[in-house]
């Protein structure tokens, strides 16, 4: 796919999201947002994602250089949560929390929710949440103990990276594979094409 049309501003510091856009041939610039991603007490995944994505969009708009903002590019922001039952598993704070997350996911099916939003000229033009089900096989204790020590899942929701060593933990994925990495490629392309970005 050859990138044409307006520029895309990717409001994310995630190298995985950058790689997904690059593989799609979508030219973009990065303006990383500074937004608090803490889950509020009693907050469900849908309101959490809507709130955090809104914060990220506002933060990117505020941080954009004036010349870039004047071109009114499409801004893409996203946030991904791993959901087990009613619990949101964010990025582990340390190896112990990462260990606890992997132990909880072992032998169970969880959901990965990614909400992305496209903004332009001060307003949201598209917002969508994509949900993928992921099943982990039952892990041996040495796998549960050893994986967090690799550091691979340190900065990732749920404490694992499906594109890395944890791919050996996953017995089934129902839905978008790239959604589990952090950005649902198909849905993002469809939404961008509606805005004339190809």
Determine how β-strand 123-136 pairs with β-strand 170-174: antiparallel
Cα–Cα distance measured from residue 164 to residue 34, given in angstroms and rounded to the nearest whole number: 27
Structure tokens at 149: 């020590």
User: If DSSP states are collapsed to H, E and C, what string results for 135-166?
Assistant: EECCCCHHHHHHCHHHCCCCCCHHHCCCCCHH
67 is annotated as an active-site residue:
no
Beta bridge partners of 157: none
174 touches 109 (CB < 8 A): no
Backbone angles phi, psi at 129, to 5 degrees: -115, 130
Q: Of 34, 36, 67, 79, which one is the catalytic site residue? A: 79
CA distances from 79 to 4, 91, 144, 146 (A): 26, 12, 26, 27
Length of the chain (residues): 198
| Catalytic (active-site) positions | 79
């Amino acid at each position: 796919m050859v990138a044409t049309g307006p520029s895309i501003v990717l409001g994310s510091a995630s190298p995985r999201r950058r790689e997904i856009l690059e593989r799609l041939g979508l030219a973009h610039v990065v303006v990383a947002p500074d937004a608090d991603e803490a889950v509020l007490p009693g907050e469900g995944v849908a309101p959490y994602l809507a709130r955090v994505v809104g914060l990220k969009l506002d933060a990117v708009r505020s941080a954009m250089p004036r010349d870039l903002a004047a071109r009114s590019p499409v801004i893409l922001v996203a946030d991904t949560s791993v959901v087990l039952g009613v619990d949101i598993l964010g990025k582990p704070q340390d190896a112990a929390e990462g260990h606890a997350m992997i132990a909880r996911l072992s032998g169970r099916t969880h959901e990965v929710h990614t909400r992305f939003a496209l903004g332009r000229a001060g307003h949201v033009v598209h917002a969508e949440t994509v949900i993928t089900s992921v099943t982990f096989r039952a892990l041996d204790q040495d796998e549960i103990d050893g994986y967090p020590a690799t550091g691979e899942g340190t900065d990732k929701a749920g404490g694992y990276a499906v594109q890395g060593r944890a791919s050996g933990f996953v017995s089934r994925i129902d839905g978008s594979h790239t959604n589990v990495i952090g950005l649902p490629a198909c849905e993002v392309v469809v939404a961008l094409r509606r805005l004339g970005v190809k």
